[in-house]
Amino acid sequence: LRATWHLTPAQRQLALVQQGQGSDCGLGWFRTAERAAQGRFSQPIYRDRPFVAVMRADRVAGAPRSLEALLADPARPLLVKTGYSYGAAIDAMLATARVPPQATSAEPLPMARMVAAGRAGWMLMSGDEAEHLLALPEVADGALASLPLAGQPPGPTRHLYCSPAVGEAWLARFDRALATDGRP
């Protein structure tokens, strides 16, 4: 399967796929009903580790250990990415949270800087994403830490999310290759 990789911000990926004008795909997207109505998904390519809270290291002590309690804590406002899905269950919790999340169109690294600077209380990430983020030189100074959340199931599956202009045959070949690779 021929493909050309381009480093593209998440919101731009979403726009390209949903405009449906080119043979565009985004890698690692969660499947939602809204997205499925505007594009095509591959079979799962990966299942995230459970979600964690990423917050200032000096605020981890005494922080609630459950997602529900953190969402209800007005002293720790959650920072979320506009247009991003955290999976159906968490998206539903965010929609009804007593303390509305702060939204930004920033990518994860600038979001982490906002949390480190105290402009937001915390951010929610898969354990994989948090591990990668906290190892980046720009934030590896120990100012941030990840807090495992009690009772979190394995994260949702990630998929290739493609424009309707991507042929069904191409996506079927991609899915067959995944099946032979033993992916989730």
Which tens digit of pLDDT belongs to each residue from 107-117? 999 999 999 99
Q: What is the DSSP string of 20-38?
A: -SSS-EEEEEEP-HHHHTT
Pick 141 or 184 by higher pLDDT.
141
Q: How confident is the model at residue 183 (pLDDT cuts 50, 70, 90)?
A: low
Q: Please say whether the beta carbons of 30 and 87 come within 8 A.
A: yes
Which tens digit of pLDDT belongs to each residue from 105-141? 999 999 999 999 999 999 999 999 999 999 999 888 8
Mean pLDDT, rounded, of the chain: 92
The set of residues, in sequence order, having a beta carbon less than 8 Å from that of 76 and lying 6+ positions away, is 55, 59, 63, 70, 121, 122
Which tens digit of pLDDT belongs to each residue from 39-75? 999 999 999 899 999 999 999 988 889 999 999 999 9
* pLDDT at res. 180: 83
Which tens digit of pLDDT belongs to each residue from 161-172? 999 999 999 999
Q: Which of 162, 164, 8 lies closest to 174, judged by CA?
A: 162
Q: Which of 155, 184, 151 lies closest to 50, judged by CA?
A: 155
Confidence check: pLDDT of 184 > 70: no
Pick 3 or 159 by higher pLDDT.
159
pTM, to two decimals: 0.78
